[in-house]
Amino acid sequence: MATIDLKTAEAEIPVIELLKKAQEEHGYLSPEVLKVIAARTGQPLSKLYGIATFYSLLTTRPKGKYRILFCKNAPCHVRGAKRVLEAIVSYLGVEPGETTKDGLFTLELTSCLGLCAVAPTMMIGEDLYGNLTPQKAIAILEDYRARERSEHA
Amino acid sequence: MRNPSRHLLIPMDPYTLAKGAERVKNALEKALALSKLTDRVRVVETGTIGHHEHGVLLIIYPDGVVYGDLTPDDVPQIVQEHLQGGRVVERLVVRDIKIPPFHPQVYRAEKQVRLVLRNVGLIDPENIEDYIANEGYEAAARALTSMTPQQVLETVKESGIQGRGGAGFPTGVKWSFAAREKAPQKYIVCNADEGEPGTFKDRLILEGDPHSVLEGMLLAGYAVGATKGYVYVRGEYRMSIARMRKAIDQARSKGLLGDNILGSGFSFDMEVREGAGAYICGEETALLESMEGKRGEPRNKPPFPPQAGLWGMPTVVNNVETLANIPLIVKNGAAWYRSFGTPTCPGTKVFTLVGNVVLPGLIEVPMGITLREVIFDIGRGIPKGRNFLFAQTGGTTGGILAAGELDVPMAYDTLRQVGSGLGSGALLVVDDSNCVVDLVQNFVEFFNHESCGKCTLCREGTGRLLELLNRLTSGQAEARDIDLIRRLAVNMKRAAFCGLGQAAPTPILGALDRFEEIFREHAEAHYCRSGVCPMNAQKAA
Ligand SMILES: Cc1cc2nc3c(=O)[nH]c(=O)nc-3n(C[C@H](O)[C@H](O)[C@H](O)COP(=O)(O)O)c2cc1C
Ligand code: SF4
Ligand code: FES
C-alpha cells in the first residue's frame, strides 16, 4: 500500500468513469471497446470485463433505443408493481432482460429508484414515471411508440 | 429587488421536473413579467419539501398557501387572483401538506423537528448566498478561526451523534480513530451511494441543501486533519451529482474550499465521484474499492477505514445525513443537540415513509418517537380502510415489527432490542392486503440480485433461500422447508463476509418469528390467506 503514489492516484480519471464515457459514445461496452481501453490504460482486459459486468449501469450487450427500468422492490411491490409489470410484459411481448423486436425498448428490472413516495415507478431513458397503474403504464409506452412513428413519418 | 414582498417556491426534483415543473416555472415568469410583478416577488427553485403525491407545487410565502398538481395553464389565474387580487385560488390548493414558517432555525410541525432538513425545500440549493443567509458556514468560520481541531472533535463526541448510514456507530469516536493516526494524507468520504430500497433521504438532502453536507465534510476534515474529501454519489442520482458539483465550485470561489481557508492555515478540497450501479458499494469498504477503480467487493475488517482506507490512508466514511448534522452541532454546541431525542440516542432522524400509508414522504422526527405516531399521526394511517399488517424499519435489510410493537420508541438502541434497527431510515408500512411470505420472497430476490458474489454463504445462500421461498409461494413446499429456511438464515447471519449477508436474514427471521403460522399455512396446507400467492401454479421453483 505504501508504494501507491497518492498524487497520481488522485489525479487519474477513474477507470469506471472511462468505461461510462465509452458506453455513452458507443451504446455498450463491446469487446472491441474494452480492448481499446485496456490498451490505453494498461489494465488487463479481464479486469475491465470484471468491472463492466459488476456494475448495473455498465453493459456489455447492445440495448434498445429506450431502456425501461422497472422498479420491483418492496415499497413498489406493496403498491401494486407486480400487476403493472405483468401488463408491460404482455404489451411489449418481452420478458425482463429482453429487447423488443423493433429494437425500441429493452425491459429491465431495477432496484429502488428513490421515488417510492409515488410507487410504483419506472424510468425510461432519463424520464421518471410514478403512481403507475397497468393502464397508465401502457399509455406511456404507447406515447413513445406514437412519437417514434411521427418522427419517421 | 431589495425587499420582495413574497417568495414563490417551486420544488424542482427529478419527479416534479418529469411532471412539468420547468414549464410551470416558465409560465410563472412570463405571467409575472406581464403583470409587472417581477420586482416585487422572488421565485426560488428549491429541493423537494418531501411530498410527491401532488405533482408540481407552488408555495407562496408568507401567505403559507400550497398549490399543487399545477400545469402552465393554472399559472395566470394564480398570478392575477392571488398575487394581484389577494384571493386564494381555492380549486388549486393542496390541504394535506403543512409547510414550515419561512426562516426557521428549528421548526415543529405535527411532531416533526427539522434540523437536517432545516433548509430543504426553502432555499435555492444552487445559490450559496441563500445558504449563507441562513447562517450557513458560520460553524466552519467559527471552528477554523477560534476552535482547535481537538475542540471540534470533542463537541461532536459529546453531542452523542451516531452515524445515520445504518450501523449507528458514534461519529465522534470514529473521527478520533482517524485523528489519532499519523499519515501523509487522510481523507473524508461522504457516502451518498444510497441504494437501500425505500430510502431517498440522502438524495433529497443533496438536492435540497448540498452546502450543509459540504460544510459538514469541511468540519470533519478540520477535526481529523484530512485535507481532501470525496463525495461518492450513486450513479443514478444525476441531479444530486450536478448540485453537489455546483456547490463545490461556489464554495471554492468564495474561498471556503482550497488553500488556507479563511486565513486559518487549514486547507481542504473536495471532489464528486460517481457510482456505477451496485447496491453493495454502499458498504464502506466496497465503496473504497469502487473509488479505487475496482469491482466493489467488501474488504476484510480490520483494518477499519479510519486506520487504512482509501489508497491505504486513514479515511472517515460518513453518511450524508450524519454530515449535514455537523454544522448545527458545532455551531450550537453538544448540550443543545442533546436537547433533541433520547439520552442514549440524541438528535433527530430523517425517515422516508413509504408503502401503504396515506401520506408517504420525507419526514424528520426526534429520536424516540413511536412507530404509531409516525404512521398514524404524521402519515395519516393506512389508506382504503385496510389494516396494519407489519412495518419494516431500516430498509430491506431491516427488521419486522408487528402490530403489538407499534409503541416501541424509534432509536438505535430500542429497536435493536426488538431485533430490528433504524438502518438507513426507510420505513415501510404494509397493509393486510399483502402476504408476508410473498414479501419475504421479494426481499430475498433483492438480496440475491445484489449479493456481490465474493463469499459462498451469501452468494449460494440467497439463491437457495429464494428457491425455498418460491416453493412456499407456489404451493410446492413441504413442512420441513420452514426449518431449512431458518437454519440457512441463522448460518448466513453468523458467517457471511459483510454486512449485506449478515443483515439479509434479519427480515426473514423477524417475519418467521412473528408470523410463523402464516408460513406454516403456506408450507403445510398450501394455503395463502390473503390470496396473493398463486398456490395452484404448477411452475417448479
Ligand atoms: C450492504 C450495505 C449497504 C450500505 N449502504 C449504505 C448507504 O447506501 N449509505 C450509507 O451511508 N451507508 C451505507 N452502509 C453503511 C456503511 O458501510 C457505513 O457504515 C456508513 O456509511 C458509515 O457512515 P455513518 O457512520 O455516518 O453512518 C451500508 C452497509 C452495508 C453493509
Ligand atoms: S456477504 Fe454477500 S455481499 Fe457481502 S461479501 Fe459476501 S457475497 Fe458479497
Ligand atoms: S421501491 Fe420502487 S422506487 Fe423505491
> Is B73 within 8 Å of B24 (Cβ atoms)?
no
Between CA B501 and CA B63 the distance in angstroms is 51
A77 at the B interface (CB within 8 A)?
Answer: yes
Residue limits of CATH 1.20.1440.230 in chain B:
436-540
Supply the pLDDT for residue B206. Answer: 96
Q: What's A7-49 look like in SS3?
A: HHHHHCCCHHHHHHHHHHHHCCCCHHHHHHHHHHHCCCHHHHH
Query: What are the start and end residues of each CATH 3.40.30.10 domain in chain B?
Result: 6-98
Interface contact flag, A116 B274, Cβ < 8 Å: no
pLDDT tens by residue, B23-64: 999 999 999 999 888 888 889 888 887 777 889 999 988 777
Written out in words, the top-level CATH class of the domain with range B128-338 is alpha beta
Residue B197 phi, psi (nearest 5)? -55, 135
A1 CB neighbours in chain B (<8 A) are 308, 311-312
Q: What is the pLDDT of residue B108?
A: 53
Band of pLDDT at residue B314, cut at 50, 70 and 90: very high
What proportion of chain B, given as a percentage, has pLDDT over 90?
A: 81
Reduce the DSSP state of residue B472 to 3 states and report it.
helix
As a CATH number, domain A66-152 is 3.40.30.10
Q: How far apart are CA A111 and CA A152, in angstroms?
A: 34
Q: Provide the pLDDT confidence category of residue B357 given band limits of 50, 70 and 90.
A: very high
Q: Which ligand is nearest to the CA of B281?
A: 1
Residue ranges of B 155-174 with Cβ closer than 8 A to chain A = none
Q: Which ligand 2 atom sits closest to the C-alpha of B456?
A: 7
Side chain identity, residue B121:
G
Indicate the helix (H) or strand (E) that contains B381: none
pLDDT at A153: 75
The helix (run of H) or strand (run of E) holding residue B108 is strand B108-109
Top CATH class, B6-98: alpha beta
- Kindly report the number of other CB atoms within 10 A of residue B398's CB atom: 28
Q: For B81-116, write each residue's pLDDT tens digit.
A: 999 888 999 999 988 776 655 444 444 566 888 899
B249: amino acid identity, one letter: D
**DSSP labels for B214-242?**
HHHHHHHHHHHT--EEEEEE-TT-HHHHH
Closest A-chain CA to B432: A78
**Across the interface, do A6 and B354 touch by the CB < 8 Å criterion?**
no
Q: How far apart are CA B357 and CA B384, in angstroms?
A: 10
Q: What is the mean pLDDT of chain B?
A: 92
CB atoms within 10 A of CB B488: 19
Closest Cα of chain B to A153: distance in Å?
Answer: 26
Q: Are A19 and B294 in contact (CB under 8 A)?
A: no
Q: Is the pLDDT of residue B539 over 90?
A: no
In this prediction, residue A140 carries a pLDDT of: 95
State pLDDT tens for residues A42-81: 899 999 999 999 999 999 999 999 999 999 999 999 999 9
**Would the CB atoms of A117 and B354 count as touching at under 8 Å?**
yes
What pLDDT is stored for residue B475 in this prediction?
95
Contact A65, A104 (CB under 8 A): yes
Q: Is the Cβ–Cβ distance between A79 and A132 less than 8 Å?
A: no
Beta bridge partners of residue B349, listed in sequence order? B365
Note whether B356 contacts A78, CB cutoff 8 Å: yes
pLDDT class of A10 with cuts at 50, 70, 90: confident
In sequence order, what are the beta bridge partners of B149?
none
Cα of B287 from ligand 1 centre, angstroms: 9
What is the number of helices (H) and of strands (E) in chain B?
20, 17
C-alpha torsion B27→B29→B30→B32, nearest 10: 120
Chain B nearest CA to A101, separation (Å):
26
What does the block give as the cell for B326? 455537523
* Residue ranges of chain B that CATH labels 3.10.20.600: 348-431
Residue to probe by mutation, ligand 3, list A68, A69, A76, A84, most atoms within 8 Å of CB: A76
For range B497-504, the mean pLDDT: 96
State which H helix or E strand residue B443 sits in. Answer: helix B436-450
The CATH number of B436-540 is which of 2.40.10.10, 2.60.120.260, 3.90.1200.10, 1.20.1440.230?
A: 1.20.1440.230
How much is the pLDDT for B2?
A: 46
By C-alpha distance, the chain B residue nearest A1 is B312
Residue A15 in this model has a pLDDT that exceeds 60:
yes
The verdict on B69 touching A (C-beta cutoff 8 Å) is no
Distance CA B110, CA B382 (A): 18
Written as nine digits, the cell of B305 is: 477505514
Min Cα separation A47/chain B (Å): 8
**B32-36, B418-422, B483-487, range with greatest mean pLDDT:** B483-487
- The 8-class DSSP code of residue B185 comes to -
Q: Which CATH number fits domain B348-431: 1.10.10.10, 3.10.20.600, 3.40.50.1460, 3.40.50.620?
A: 3.10.20.600
- The Cβ-side half-sphere exposure at B76, using a 13 Å CA radius, reads 3
User: Touching check for B473 and chain A: CB below 8 Å?
Assistant: no
Residue B538, pLDDT score: 44
Q: Which of A24-33, B7-16, B246-255 has the lowest mean pLDDT?
A: B7-16
Nearest chain B residue (CA) to A41: B293
As for ligand 3, residues whose beta carbon falls within 6 Å of it are: A 71, 73, 75-76, 112-116, 119, 121; B 197-198
Average pLDDT rounded to a whole number, residues B522-530 = 95
Q: Which residues contact B43 (CB under 8 A, 6 or more apart)?
A: B8, B10, B25, B28, B29, B32
Mean pLDDT of B446-472: 96
- Count of alpha carbons within 13 Å of B5, Cβ hemisphere only? 7
Contact between chains at B276 and A6 (C-beta distance less than 8 A): no
Whole-structure pTM value: 0.91
Residue among B283, B291, B498 to mutate when testing ligand 1 (max atoms within 8 A of CB): B283
To the nearest whole angstrom, how far is the Cα of A140 from the nearest Cα of chain B? Answer: 13
Task: Say whether residue B382 is in contact with chain A using an 8 A CB cutoff.
Answer: no
Map residue B511 onto helix, strand or coil: helix
**Coil/strand/helix, residue B409:** strand
Q: How many C-beta neighbours within 10 Å does residue B34 have?
A: 12
B510, HSE (Cβ side, Cα atoms, 13 Å): 29
The pLDDT, as a whole number, for residue B63 is 78
Dig out the grid coordinates for B132 from the structure. Answer: 449563507
